[in-house]
Amino acid sequence: MLGSVSLGTLGLIVGALLTGVGVVAYAAGNATLNLAGFFYGVPLLLGGLALKAAELKPVPYREAPTPEAIAGRSQATPTQTQIRRDVTRYRYG
């Protein structure tokens, strides 16, 4: 499940949200939310941007495999199974 979620997108969303809270808190004069928003939001936003720049998208595959494919997977070696898992999830280079 986690392999189908892009960590770069997740970092961008959470970082932008916290940075936005920090900016609004700065404008409202709320020091606690201001510090939390800037000290956690900006690094998450930058980290999300860096992950998004280095992101390798997963290879698309069919949701419903054929019975022949299922039978072939039962005969796969551990290396072949690991390769299939690696190419069907987000990777960061």
Contact between residue 61 and residue 86 where contact means Cβ atoms under 8 Å apart: no
pLDDT-derived band of residue 66, with 50, 70 and 90 as boundaries?
confident
Domain that holds residue 64: 2-92
Q: Report the pLDDT value the prediction gives residue 70, as an integer from 0 to 100.
A: 80
Domains identified in the chain, total number: 1
What is the distance between the alpha carbons of residues 62 and 64, in angstroms, rounded to a whole number? Answer: 6
DSSP string over 66-82: -HHHHHHHHT--HHHHH
pTM value? 0.74
Each residue's pLDDT tens digit, 27-36: 998 888 888 8
Contact between residue 34 and residue 26 where contact means Cβ atoms under 8 Å apart: yes
